[in-house]
């Protein structure tokens, strides 16, 4: 498949005036949605975006039926009213009936969406000339955005952004600990209303670009993806906004370059790829980071166990210094391949040297081996002294713990146990 470089260049150089309109519209909608989405995400109300998105549909249809024209501002008012009503109803049902929140969400979402589809069908049957394109609200029509719509989105984006920045502290405390926010006198009921209003505003606008079905992805996915990368609110917001902006622009570029490709779905696909990438490769929380951490641990355990084996070999056969694979492998619960890879690692780190098919412990390795045995035996002693565990039950525990003990804890153990000479099995503790 050839990349449509010509079209991509056209898009990013704004050579067509229409491209510029779409660019700014999508950029504002996707980045401001991400900003607001951070707080719906942190308040664990991720599904509320979905409710609003589906519930703006009847509002749009009603506004059209009343005004008989496709004025974006009027459509937005209609969308805002039913969107707001849906949030209010979900809260009302949750608080005043036995119906739980998730059920209320499912009920309201489907009732409003159903009503919306009915109204749209009715509009189609009336044969109003300007109705063409109204049903594109379901999947969005970003590529067909008009300048007057984008102007409206810009204004809304600015209002929502300013409101979020002004009330940032309120939203933040409320998301973490709502009772405390009330206790310190924050106007929590008002903050809830303001957050709902800005969510409704941005969702009602965004629906016009990516459609009802995909809008909640625009709201929640950036925050969820950003959470992998940071533990700080400020960074969370910035990363989420960047993810939103990048996927918005890329989605629009792709759909512009491949004729006939829909914009909304492409935005969501780029966004999902970013989220997937985050889940895989984010430091610490990503799957790769965890995998490599586990690999580091199991390598450490492997090498330390081999070094420990050399310590024992040198004790039992002090007459020789180099040992064969068979000698090393006996008493080690390892497969030969594992042992070989461990030996290779240890040779590479200059803890062992290899001559032919024999391996010798180097001084660095010997010091480390003694330290591991010391950790093992001190831990055994600690268990039997402080946890009253019988001598024949301490070994297995120490086999695992010896690899975790840090130099600081080792020192602590030495002081606590007063530099003991022998372990519970009366074996010498090497210092």
Partner 1 sequence: MAIIEEVKNPVLEVHSLTVVYNKQPAIWNVDFTLPKGQIIGIMGPNGSGKSTLLKAIMGVVDANIGYVKVFDQEIEEVRRKVSYVPQRQSVDWDFPAQVKDVVAMGRFATRGILSRLNAEDKEIVQESLKKVGMEAFANRQIAQLSGGQQQRVFIARALAQRAELYLMDEPFAGVDASTEESIIELLNEMRNHGKTLIVVHHDLYTASDYFDWVVLLNTRLVASGPVAKVFTPEILAEAYGSRLTTLSKVADLLAERRFPMRHK
Taking Cα atoms as reference points, which of 202, 228, 329, 344 lies closest to residue 282? 228
The secondary structure element, H or E, covering residue 358 is: strand 358-361
Shortest spacing between CB 131 and partner 1, in angstroms: 45
- What is d(CA 47, CA 57) in angstroms, rounded to the nearest whole number? 17
Phi and psi at 231, nearest 5°, equal -115, 15
Q: Smallest gap, in angstroms, from Cβ of residue 179 to partner 1?
A: 5
Q: How far apart are CA 173 and CA 322, in angstroms?
A: 65
In terms of Cα–Cα distance, which of 113, 107, 115 is closest to 91? 107
Question: Burial level of 373, CB count in 10 A (0-12/13-18/19+)?
Answer: buried
Is residue 34 at the binding interface for partner 1, with CB under 8 A as the rule? no
Is there binding between residue 243 and partner 1 (CB under 8 A)? no
Among 100, 122, 169, 312, which residue sits at the site for partner 1 (rule: CB under 8 A)? 169
Q: Residues 61, 62, 108, 236: which binds partner 1 (CB under 8 A)?
A: 236
**Which range touches partner 1 (CB under 8 A), out of 172-180, 263-271, 359-367, 384-392?**
172-180
CB nearer to partner 1: give 96 or 348.
96
For position 227 contacting partner 1 by CB under 8 A, the verdict is yes
Minimum distance from CB of 165 to partner 1 (Å)? 11
- Pick the piece of the chain touching partner 1 (CB under 8 A) from 106-114, 124-132, 225-233, 349-357: 225-233
Which SS3 state, helix, strand or coil, does residue 125 take? helix
In the list 230, 272, 358, 360, the residue contacting partner 1 (rule: CB under 8 A) is 230
CB 372 within 8 A of CB 399: no
Measured CA to CA, the distance from residue 419 to residue 23 in angstroms comes to 71
Query: Could you tell me the smallest distance in angstroms from the CB atom of residue 232 to partner 1?
Result: 6
Of 179-208, binders to partner 1 (CB under 8 A) are: 179-180, 182-187
Alpha helices in 333-362 (DSSP H): 336-348
Q: Which of 42, 75, 217, 394 binds partner 1 (CB under 8 A)?
A: 42
Residues that bind partner 1 (CB under 8 A): 42, 44, 166-167, 169-170, 173, 175-177, 179-180, 182-187, 227, 230-233, 235-236
């Amino acid at each position: 498949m050839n990349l449509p470089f010509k079209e991509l260049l056209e898009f990013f150089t704004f050579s067509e005036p229409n491209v510029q309109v779409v660019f700014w519209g999508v950029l504002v909608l996707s980045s401001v949605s991400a900003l607001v989405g951070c707080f719906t995400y942190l308040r664990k109300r991720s599904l509320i975006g979905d409710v609003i998105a589906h519930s703006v549909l009847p509002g749009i249809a009603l506004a059209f039926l009343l005004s008989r024209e496709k004025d974006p501002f009027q459509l937005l008012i209609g969308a805002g009213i039913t969107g707001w009503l849906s949030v209010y109803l979900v809260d009302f049902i949750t608080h005043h009936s036995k119906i739980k929140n998730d059920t209320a969400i499912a009920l309201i979402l489907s009732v409003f969406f159903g009503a919306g589809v009915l109204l749209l069908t009715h509009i189609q049957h009336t044969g109003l000339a300007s109705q063409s394109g109204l049903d594109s609200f379901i999947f969005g029509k970003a590529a067909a955005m008009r300048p007057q719509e984008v102007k409206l989105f810009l204004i809304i984006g600015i209002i929502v952004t300013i409101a979020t920045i002004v009330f940032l502290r309120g939203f933040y405390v409320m998301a973490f600990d709502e009772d405390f926010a009330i206790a310190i006198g924050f106007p929590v009921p008002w903050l809830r209303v303001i957050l709902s209003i800005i969510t409704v505003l941005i969702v009602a606008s965004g629906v016009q670009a990516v459609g009802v079905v995909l809008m909640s992805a625009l709201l929640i996915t950036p925050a969820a993806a950003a959470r992998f990368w940071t533990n700080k609110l400020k960074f969370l917001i910035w990363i989420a906004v960047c993810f939103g902006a990048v996927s918005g622009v890329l989605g629009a570029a792709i759909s512009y370059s491949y004729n006939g490709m829909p914009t909304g779905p492409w935005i969501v696909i780029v966004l999902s790829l970013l989220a997937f990438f985050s889940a895989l490769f984010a430091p610490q929380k990503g799957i790769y980071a965890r995998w490599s951490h586990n690999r580091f641990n199991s390598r450490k355990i492997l090498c330390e166990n081999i070094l420990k084996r050399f310590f024992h070999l040198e004790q039992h056969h002090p007459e020789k210094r180099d040992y064969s694979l068979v000698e090393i492998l006996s008493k080690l619960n390892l497969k030969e391949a594992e042992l070989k890879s461990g030996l290779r690692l240890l040779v590479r780190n200059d803890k062992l040297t290899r001559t032919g098919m024999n391996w010798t412990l180097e001084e660095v390795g010997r010091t480390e081996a003694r330290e591991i045995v010391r950790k093992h035996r001190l831990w055994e002693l600690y268990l039997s002294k402080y946890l009253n565990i019988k001598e024949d039950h301490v070994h297995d525990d120490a086999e695992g713990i010896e690899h975790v003990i840090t130099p600081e804890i080792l020192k602590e153990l030495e002081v606590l146990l007063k530099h003991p000479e022998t372990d519970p099995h009366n074996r010498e503790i090497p210092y």
